Copies of this chain bind each other. A is one copy, B any other.
Amino acid sequence: MPKIVDRELRRATIARNAIEIFAKKGFQQTTVQDIADASKIGKGTLYHYFHTKMDILEEVSNEMFRNIKELIDASLFQLENPAENLPAIIETALTKEMEYLFIIYVELWINNYRSTKYSDFLEKLKDYIADFRKLLARKIENRKNSGGFKEDIDPNALAYYLVSSMDGLLIHYMLDKSQFNIRYVLSEVFRFLQTSISREA
């Protein structure tokens, strides 16, 4: 009898090993040989676990979703004051591993702009982000209703801005780390936002 392997586990492992390569070289520029090398297997072996190169990207994106979801879930419960804990959440994301995922995420996002071929990957992600945004908006709304926030704030607009500005910050930070201390900027910004949002401010 041949070696017994857990195909799903193997797929996930190969995908996990591929993340760094995809991040560092990009999907197009990464060769199937690169991916095989990353898992120290033969090129042909890859095709026992994935139909096409695209299929590998799909698994990588699933792996990414799992990580992101984990991150979001882990941080949601501490999201009492939305502005309060976002820095902590971002902080959590500042690992090498998450950095790779973030690059892939931006690349997928761009590819999605270019071709509907990638849209399947992103639907899930869009949903996650939308959910996160809605949750954030609801928190803002609640606090606004309880008198904690100013009257003239549009919770949806603010939530949209907060979420997307985090991506902007991450991009600027990761792609040019020399320019600034992101942790300091984040704490400053959120201290500022908090006081300006709060009615007492």
Interface residues of A (CB under 8 A from B): 2, 23-26, 28-29, 44, 103, 106-107, 109-114, 126, 130, 152-154, 156-158, 160-161, 163-169, 171-176, 179-180, 184-185, 188-189, 191-193, 195-197, 201
Contact of A161 among B111, B157, B164, B165 (CB under 8 A): B165
Measured between beta carbons, the chain B residues less than 8 angstroms from A158 are 188-189, 192
Contact A103 B107 (CB under 8 A): no
A112 vs B192: C-alpha distance when bound (angstroms)? 32
Given contacts A28-B28, A113-B175, A168-B171, contact A188 B2 (CB under 8 A): no
A-B pairs with beta carbons under 8 Å apart, 19 shown: A103-B110, A103-B113, A103-B114, A106-B106, A107-B110, A130-B179, A152-B191, A152-B192, A157-B185, A158-B189, A160-B179, A161-B189, A164-B173, A167-B172, A168-B169, A168-B171, A192-B196, A196-B197, A201-B201
A157 vs B169: C-alpha distance when bound (angstroms)? 11
User: How far apart are A120's CB and chain B's nearest CB, in angstroms?
Assistant: 14
Contact A154 B188 (CB under 8 A): yes
